[in-house]
């Protein structure tokens, strides 16, 4: 199996540190608002990677942090007259609901920043002792980038080039403009924790270094996140972790997903062009959304559009229908299941080529439909379709036709039809029933009255 690593910029043979086991860390959310479909893209991607590794027989330990304290949370809590912990708790449950609705399996653990402060303080002190960090007058602690000769290796930046672009601000207490904060002295009124350098809170980069090391050990097999995290976040995670432990590499394979765009722009809070996962799920099923994401190679940017999602939704329904076909064929099936399995595995072994894997599912679906028509026993092929779909996190549940908004209008038409029948206007009543039937609503006349239901497909 080959995986592209951002650090080496090439596909490498995947060899985990411990045979048969994979440690995996993915940067988690900052819960201060509802998660959007950009989050869905990232977490679906890493869910599929985790599922595939397990399918290959690896035991995967998957950690995802929760940044439950940062500037945005503090601002938002202040604006809503609530505490930071209450706000973060509320939006983390909302996030968990969204993940479950998208059939994304929860991480093995979700460590929260505010509960891991001792570990972070210990690591910061260690970096100070080793000369990699210093406490400034304000009480903030910074990482000393000049103490690490290969700083910038993940993003391919050199300190000298970064210097040229950096602005030295007056009153800046840092030794070097690229030094970054690991412990932030708190301003009056902000939530704070006590530390050897005074009251403050941990920086975001420190949070991920400390949690990865604590929960997964000194070398992590896979570290994931969006491409927007390469610099500075992941660059700084490497600096802190490798300088603290003295062990390289901190991460064996760095995986970054492409970003979700809306039109030509990145979907982001600051541009105000967010679609929340909850909104998307009102129109599309979990399988529809997942198929939209995995039909594109994870490292490429993906453009959100209703047309693309509608197409994926139809695709998801095609797969579900084939899996649910009644198997009453008696002839032996001629589908070569092994070749489908091989093609699927080959695609996924090539840096998780999910578009390739998805096309295998559709080929199999076409053959299942044809075999069913030819009177063959399709049981084993349907089982394989379900098995491979499950590796991609597709549930193959058929979407219930439940246009609930239509309900009151249908009731009204059914009531009008009843009146017509009472007045013996049978032709008009039948016209109404036939019209509704064409729209997917069946009316059944029973002695106790007329019942109606949405047609089953
Ligand atoms: Zn992180």
| Residues 146-172 pLDDT 10s | 999 999 999 999 888 887 666 666 668
CATH 1.20.120.640 domain extents, the chain: 284-391
In 59-165 the beta strands, taken as DSSP E runs, fall at 59-64, 133-135, 141-143
- Whether pLDDT at 457 is above 50: no
- Percentage of the chain beyond pLDDT 90 is 82
* Residues linked to residue 256 through DSSP beta bridges, in sequence order: 225
What digits encode the pLDDT tens for the residues 182-197? 999 999 989 999 999 9
What digits encode the pLDDT tens for the residues 223-263? 999 999 999 999 999 999 999 999 999 999 999 999 999 87
What digits encode the pLDDT tens for the residues 22-60? 999 999 999 999 999 999 999 999 999 999 999 999 999
Q: Ligand 1 center to residue 81 CA distance, Å?
A: 28
Q: Ligand 1 center to residue 233 CA distance, Å?
A: 6
Q: Ligand 1 center to residue 224 CA distance, Å?
A: 9
Q: Ligand 1 center to residue 227 CA distance, Å?
A: 12
- pTM confidence score: 0.87
Q: Ligand 1 center to residue 30 CA distance, Å?
A: 10
Q: Ligand 1 center to residue 69 CA distance, Å?
A: 13
Q: Ligand 1 center to residue 67 CA distance, Å?
A: 9
Q: Ligand 1 center to residue 24 CA distance, Å?
A: 12
CATH 3.40.50.620 domain extents, the chain: 13-266
Q: Ligand 1 center to residue 68 CA distance, Å?
A: 13
Q: Ligand 1 center to residue 89 CA distance, Å?
A: 19
Q: What CATH code is assigned to 13-266?
A: 3.40.50.620
pLDDT score for 174:
94
- Cα 362 from Cα 379, distance rounded (Å): 17
pLDDT score for 170:
62
- Using pLDDT thresholds of 50, 70 and 90, give the confidence band for residue 400: low
Q: Ligand 1 center to residue 225 CA distance, Å?
A: 7
What digits encode the pLDDT tens for the residues 259-312? 999 877 777 767 777 899 999 998 899 999 999 999 999 999 999 998 999 999
Q: Ligand 1 center to residue 244 CA distance, Å?
A: 17
Q: Are strands 220-226 and 251-257 parallel, antiparallel or unpaired?
A: parallel
Q: Check: CB of residue 143 under 8 Å from CB of residue 132.
A: yes
pLDDT score for 196:
98
Q: Ligand 1 center to residue 135 CA distance, Å?
A: 23
Q: Ligand 1 center to residue 242 CA distance, Å?
A: 15
Q: Ligand 1 center to residue 361 CA distance, Å?
A: 34
Cβ burial 17-56 (10 Å sphere, 16+ → b, else e): eeeeebbbbbbbbbbbbbbbbbbbbbbbbbbbbbbbbebb
pLDDT score for 142:
98
What digits encode the pLDDT tens for the residues 62-91? 999 999 999 999 999 999 999 999 999 999
- Cα 369 from Cα 347, distance rounded (Å): 23
- Using pLDDT thresholds of 50, 70 and 90, give the confidence band for residue 407: confident
pLDDT score for 410:
86
Q: Ligand 1 center to residue 121 CA distance, Å?
A: 17
Round the average pLDDT of the chain to a whole number and report it: 93
Q: What CATH code is assigned to 284-391?
A: 1.20.120.640
Average pLDDT (99-111) is: 97
Q: Ligand 1 center to residue 255 CA distance, Å?
A: 12
Q: Ligand 1 center to residue 204 CA distance, Å?
A: 7
- How many Cβ atoms sit within 10 Å of the Cβ of residue 88? 26
In 271-342 the beta strands, taken as DSSP E runs, fall at 302-304
Q: Ligand 1 center to residue 66 CA distance, Å?
A: 9
- Whether pLDDT at 333 is above 80: yes
pLDDT score for 168:
65
């Amino acid at each position: 199996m080959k995986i592209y690593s951002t650090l080496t910029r090439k596909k490498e043979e995947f060899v985990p540190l411990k045979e048969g086991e994979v440690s995996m860390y993915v940067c988690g959310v900052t819960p201060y608002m509802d998660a959007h479909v950009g989050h869905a893209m990232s977490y679906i991607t890493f869910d599929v990677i985790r599922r595939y590794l397990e399918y290959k027989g690896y035991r995967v330990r998957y950690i995802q942090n929760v940044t439950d304290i940062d500037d945005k949370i503090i601002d938002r809590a202040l604006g809503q007259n609530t505490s930071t912990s209450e706000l973060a708790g509320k939006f983390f449950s909302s996030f968990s609901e969204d993940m479950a609705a998208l059939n994304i399996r929860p991480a093995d653990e979700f460590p929260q920043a505010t509960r891991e402060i001792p570990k972070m303080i210990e690591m910061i002190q260690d970096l100070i002792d080793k000369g990699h960090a210093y406490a400034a007058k304000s009480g903030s602690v910074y990482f000393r980038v000049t103490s690490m000769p290969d700083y910038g290796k993940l993003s391919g930046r050199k300190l000298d080039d970064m210097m040229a672009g950096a602005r030295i601000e007056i009153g800046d207490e840092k030794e070097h403009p690229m030094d970054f904060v690991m412990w932030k002295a708190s301003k009056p009124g902000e939530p704070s924790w006590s530390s050897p350098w005074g009251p403050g809170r941990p920086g975001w980069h420190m949070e991920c270094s400390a949690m990865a090391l604590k929960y997964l050990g000194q070398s992590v097999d896979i570290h994931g996140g969006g491409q927007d995290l390469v610099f500075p976040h992941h660059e700084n995670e490497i600096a802190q972790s490798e300088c603290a432990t003295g062990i390289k590499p901190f991460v064996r394979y760095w995986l970054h997903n492409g970003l979700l765009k809306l039109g030509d722009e990145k979907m982001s809070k600051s541009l105000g062009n967010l679609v929340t996962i909850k909104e998307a799920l009102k129109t599309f099923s979990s399988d529809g959304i997942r198929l939209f994401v995995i039909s594109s190679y994870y490292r490429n940017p993906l453009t959100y559009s209703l047309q693309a999602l509608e197409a994926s939704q139809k695709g998801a329904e095609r797969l579900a229908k084939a899996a649910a076909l009644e198997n009453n064929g008696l002839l032996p099936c001629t589908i070569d299941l092994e070749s489908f399995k091989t093609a699927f595995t080959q695609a996924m072994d090539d840096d998780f080529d999910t578009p390739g894997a998805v096309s295998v599912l559709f080929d199999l679906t076409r053959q299942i439909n044809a075999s069913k028509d030819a009177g063959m026993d399709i049981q084993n092929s349907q089982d394989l379709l379900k098995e491979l779909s499950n590796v991609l996190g597709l549930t193959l549940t058929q979407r219930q036709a439940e246009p609930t908004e239509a309900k009151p209008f249908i009731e009204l038409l059914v009531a009008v039809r009843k009146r017509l029948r009472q007045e013996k206007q049978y032709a008009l009543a039948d016209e109404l029933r036939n019209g509704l039937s064409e729209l997917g609503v069946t009316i059944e006349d029973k002695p106790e009255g007329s019942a109606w239901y949405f047609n089953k497909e």
